[in-house]
Each structure stands twice: as C-alpha cells, then as structure tokens.
Chain A
Amino acid sequence: MLQSFCIWLYGSGMGTAIRESIWIFPIIETVHVLGIALLAGTVSLLDLRLLGITLKSQSVEQVARQVLPLTWAGFGVMLVSGFLLFSAEAADSYGNIPFRIKLVLMGLAGLNALVFHRNPVTPLRARLAGGCSITLWAGVICAGRAIAYVSK
C-alpha cells in the first residue's frame, strides 16, 4: 500500500520533473538544509531552556510561547520541501533505512512534545522532555544526512 503510493508519487509528473531537472532538486535541498536552522535551531533553544542551560532570565512558558511559532514555521518549510524531495526519490526512499529511521525519530519527537504538553510540568519532567527533544532532533538531522549516503 505505502510502497505503491511511493511508486505512484515517484512516477508522477511532479516527482519526475524534480528528478530530471538539474537545478530544482539542489535548490529544494538547499531550502531543506537551511530550514534546519528555523526548525531544529529554534526548538533546540527551547530544549536548552528546559534543561536550564540558556535563556534562564525567561520562564519556560515565555520561551515556548514566543519561540514555538517560529518552530512551526520551520516545520512547514521542512515538510513541504521534504515532501518535494521525497517525491523525486520516493521509490528509493521506501526501502532506505536512514529514511525509515528518520520518520520514526520524527514521530517520537512529536510524541515527546505531545506528552509534555498534556501533562503538568515539573522540573524533572521539563529536563527530561528537553533532553529527549534535543536528542531526537539531532538524530533526525543525522539520519536525514545519512539518507544520501546509503542511496549512493
């Protein structure tokens, strides 16, 4: 089911156009790489605040309320550019192990954020959530980089 979707997307006009153009793929890739700063860079500042390492003059709530809109903007950029890159390589991505690991880590990062927001904040829980989040997002970045190493 998932595999047939990947093959369909790969063969679609959009996937083919991105794959066959010399410039479109690297341009989207550049957006995807620089978008890391907006997504992971901003969320890691919140994580470091949760860990009590930086921005200590601000409360966790203040940092979260003001930084998370930027993180969500980054998520939008990454999701769109990531989907476009995926469409050009979908048939290969399906079996690509780092790609699968990346998706799982992203799911776990989302789950971590959800659990944190749903439960009362205690200092220990805040540190745990911050530590998990920054580790998971670092894993997402590394796995994302590894996608290209494996598919070569």
Chain B
Amino acid sequence: MSLLFLFNWLGRSWLGAWMQKSSYAFEAAEMFHLLALAGLGGGVLIINLRVLGLGLKSETARRLMKELVPYLTGCLVVMICSGVMLVAAEPEKCYYNTAFRVKMPLLLCAVGFSVFVQRRFLEWRVLAVISLLLWAGVGLAGRAIGVI
C-alpha cells in the first residue's frame, strides 16, 4: 500500500468528507493546532532551557520533565489529531507539498529523539540544543506548508 493511497483514503473517509464540506472545520482544526503548539512548544522550551541553565532553575531538569510529560503528551495528541484533520481536508496538496515532506520526517525525529535519546541523557546540554533545533525545524516546516 503506497502512502499516496493512504492519503487519498483519508481524504475520502467520513473525516475527509466532513473537513472538505464544512465551512468552519478547517479553521477550527487550525486553531486547535496553534493552541497545542503553544503548549507543546512552551513545555519543550522550558525543559530544554532548564537543561541549558535558564528559566525554572529551582527544579531539576529531570523532575521538571517528569511533571510536564502528561501535559506535553496531551498537547502532542491534540497536535496530531488536529494535524490529521488538516491533512484529511487537503490530502493531495499535503502529499506533494515539499514542506510537508520535510516536516513529517523531522517530526518523527523530534519525537523519537525526545522519547528515546534525550530522556536517558537529559543533563547533556548538546542534546537540549539538538532538541530545540529539531522542534524549531518542525515548526518552520509546518508554517512553510501554507506558504509554498
């Protein structure tokens, strides 16, 4: 099964049909995507800046991360759900969009890096810089989807 098939299937599903027909669903999904970006981006910033010695210094980075993981997970779930809705509205446009093709691997890298690498070596400053760059790249590529 090719990826294009999957995208087209999503576009033809009830979700795709609703996203394409509704006069407000796309706008609403975009707003939720932005709101969750604030939460996820803010949390990622606070944790990485803490590792770099800025911001919430009265808390260890490890504990800060532990306390914020449920919040970050919640925001990520909202981002993914609203993101799937946005793709369902314009599956072909996304599939052939260069920025989208850059964003998806970057997103996988950012999530994988945070969950599997950074969590184990949280105090390593260089990892915090890499994490910030990865997430900034996801955001940049995401914004670029709508521009190009």
Contacts and interface: CB of A to CB of B under 8 A. Distances in A.
A30 interface: yes
A101 interface: no
A138 interface: yes
B35 interface: yes
A66 B27 contact: no
A56 B71 CA distance: 13
Interface string A36-66: 1110111011001000011111100011001
Nearest to B57: A66
A37 B34 contact: no
Most buried by A among B38, B67, B136: B38
Interface residues of B, number: 34
A142 B36 CA distance: 12
A37 B49 contact: no
A36 B63 CA distance: 25
B49 A70 contact: yes
B31 A41 contact: no
Interface in B27-48: 27, 30-31, 34-35, 37-46
A41 B59 CA distance: 18
A33 interface: yes
A67 B38 contact: no
A37 B45 CA distance: 8
Contacts of A146: 27, 31
A141 interface: yes
Contacts of B57: 66
B147 A26 contact: yes
B38 A57 contact: no
Interface string A8-44: 0000000000000000001001100110111011101
Contacts of B54: 70
B126 interface: no
Contact of B55 (A36, A56, A67): A67
Nearest to B44: A37
Given A57-B63, A142-B35, 19 more contacts: A26-B143, A29-B143, A37-B42, A37-B45, A37-B139, A38-B45, A41-B39, A42-B45, A45-B42, A48-B71, A55-B59, A56-B67, A58-B58, A62-B58, A66-B55, A66-B56, A67-B56, A70-B55, A145-B34
10 contacts: A26-B143, A30-B140, A33-B139, A34-B140, A36-B37, A53-B71, A54-B71, A57-B59, A67-B56, A137-B38
